[in-house]
């Protein structure tokens, strides 16, 4: 009813510390938690089941999906992929390693970007065999800010990165060049 009334929707969740939610093609809901990994609901959130087979870390900070049941999860030990709607997970970390992935997004063409805790931003195109570092960090008054808290795609697939202390940055060329996008903001922290 447009948010007028709310009811609990956490039956089966092993951790109520939810850091992200996602609906995928086909209608399944996913919940990423801090301590108990991933959960899926196929009945609009009335019941949840744990779907952690293959995950080595139960802190799931971010998720993104592609058509056909492909789901990527940003965890405390890098990126994991499921090709069967979350039933099984496998590491997808060649080039990125074991690092906390705070944010993960995908372009229309299927290019993935991952924002990390302390290692900047990584990129992986659909047919590439490994991740490549797009930028190690952003300049913050002589210090390099490497914590990327949020990534989002804008118009024309501009890429925006929200940092821990250097504000917001924008790339219009797939991460090759970056510019500050803090105009009009009082605080430079993101």
For 119-145, the pLDDT digits (tens) are 999 999 999 999 999 988 777 666 677
Helix (H, G, I), strand (E, B) or coil at 155: helix
pTM, two decimal places: 0.88
Query: Is 190 a residue whose pLDDT tops 50?
Result: no
Query: Is 90 a residue whose pLDDT tops 90?
Result: yes
| Region of poorest pLDDT, from 67-76, 138-147, 158-167 | 138-147
Q: What is the pLDDT of residues 13-63, one digit of tens each?
A: 888 889 999 998 888 999 999 999 999 999 989 999 999 999 988 899 999
In terms of pLDDT, which residue wins out, 189 or 106?
106
* Radius of gyration (C-alpha) of the chain in whole angstroms: 17
What's the pLDDT score for residue 143? Answer: 64
CA-to-CA distance for 35 and 155, rounded, in angstroms? 35
Query: Is 188 a residue whose pLDDT tops 60?
Result: no
What are 151-156's contacts with CB under 8 Å, separation 24+?
A: 151/103, 151/104, 151/105, 151/113, 151/114, 151/115, 151/121, 152/105, 153/105, 153/107
Q: How many residues does the chain have?
A: 190
What's the pLDDT score for residue 70? Answer: 92
CA-to-CA distance for 114 and 134, rounded, in angstroms? 10
- What lies within 8 Å, CB to CB, of 32 at 6+ separation is 18, 19, 20, 21, 22, 38, 60, 61, 62, 63, 73
Helix (H, G, I), strand (E, B) or coil at 120: coil
| Region of poorest pLDDT, from 36-45, 76-85, 120-129, 159-168 | 159-168
8 A C-beta contact, residue 170 and residue 142: no
What's the pLDDT score for residue 1? Answer: 85
Average pLDDT for 109-128: 93
- What lies within 8 Å, CB to CB, of 80 at 6+ separation is 54, 55, 56, 72, 73, 89, 90, 91, 92
């Amino acid at each position: 009813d447009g948010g007028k009334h709310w009811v609990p929707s956490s039956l089966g969740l092993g951790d109520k510390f939810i850091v992200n939610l996602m609906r995928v093609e086909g209608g399944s809901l996913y919940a990423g938690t801090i301590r108990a990994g991933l959960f899926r609901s196929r009945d609009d959130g009335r019941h949840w089941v744990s779907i952690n087979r293959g995950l080595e870390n139960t802190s799931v900070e971010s998720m993104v999906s592609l058509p056909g049941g492909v789901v990527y999860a940003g965890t405390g030990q890098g990126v994991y992929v499921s090709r069967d709607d979350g039933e099984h997970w496998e590491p997808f970390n060649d080039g990125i390693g074991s690092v906390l992935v705070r944010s993960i997004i995908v372009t229309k063409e299927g290019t993935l970007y991952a924002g990390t805790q302390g290692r900047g931003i990584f990129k992986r195109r659909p047919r590439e065999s490994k991740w490549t570092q797009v930028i190690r960090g952003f300049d913050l008054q002589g210090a390099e800010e490497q914590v990327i808290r949020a990534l989002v795609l804008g118009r024309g697939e501009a890429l925006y990165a929200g940092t821990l202390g250097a504000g917001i940055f924008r790339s219009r060329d797939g991460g090759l060049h970056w510019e500050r996008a803090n105009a009009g903001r009082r605080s430079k922290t993101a």
